Amino acid sequence: MQRPGPFSTLYGRVLAPLPGRAGGAASGGGGNSWGVTGSHVQLPGRAQFGAGSASTAGGDANSVCPAPSTMSKAEEAKKLAGRAAVENHVRNNQVLGIGSGSTIVHAVQRIAERVKQENLNLVCIPTSFQARQLILQYGLTLSDLDRHPEIDLAIDGADEVDADLNLIKGGGGCLTQEKIVAGYASRFIVIADFRKDSKNLGDQWHKGIPIEVIPMAYVPVSRAVTQKFGGVIELRMAVNKAICFW
């Protein structure tokens, strides 16, 4: 997924490294540059150094990092990324696009906490049924593009992110709605854990490129893709949704 023209500069990401490894989580940067001013995240169990500052585990009351827990390293990294995105980019009186997937759950949890703690006025537009249910579950204000056609900030996950912030998205079957919401957002922040970080697309994600089509177009789109690019088209069936992988 690559945004054309001037919008390409609006891409950002929050990638959380493996817990226990030195380095904070950075947003808006490329490659593996973790320490960015305003984006420092303290990781459990190790001293962490951001741009011009340092902190030790357990010593920073304002850290967005959760306390060490029994959750898996991957799940802990998801939580770091989701919370860092909300801390660094969500502001009062914004219209937010809420993405889909497991990492976005942690972002929505933190949004709900900040709404309660800071009395923020936020409106949330979902990219999927799952996102809609999350918004309602956490008592956030639900809206849509009919009522709010301009989005200040969209936060979403990705299946893979390369060094130039190109993405593979759509493995969860919500690609079309995710692209629509991202396309109408002034800023688009991608959150992902360390497993999604790649130098080149395809290094980590081996399930093919998701292509979402309406049912009546499945056969002609499949033929067009194979004729132009080769490869094999597989129709992935799931509960209440279908998605093509190429």
The tokens for 230 are: 């080769």
Helix, strand, coil percentages, rounded to 5, for the chain:
30, 25, 45
Residues 169 and 238 in one domain: no
% of the chain at pLDDT higher than 90: 53
Residue 64 has pLDDT above 60, yes or no: no
Residues 117 and 190 in one domain: yes
- H-run or E-run covering 89: helix 73-89
% of the chain at pLDDT higher than 70: 68
Structurally, the chain folds into a number of domains equal to: 2
Burial class (CB in 10 A: 0-12, 13-18, 19+), 59: exposed
C-alpha 148, offset from chain centre? 21
Residues 82 and 202 in one domain: yes
For the residues 68-78, what does the mean pLDDT come to? 79
Residues 203 and 85 in one domain: yes
Active site residues: 178
What is the distance between the alpha carbons of residues 163 and 46, in angstroms, rounded to a whole number? Answer: 26
Residues 135 and 195 in one domain: yes
Residue 97, domain member (yes or no): yes
Residues 146 and 86 in one domain: yes
Please list the alpha-helical segments (H only) found in 102-198.
102-118, 129-137, 175-183
Domain that holds residue 235: 211-245
Residues 160 and 215 in one domain: no
Helix (H, G, I), strand (E, B) or coil at 68: coil
Q: pLDDT value at position 213?
A: 87
Q: pLDDT value at position 71?
A: 73
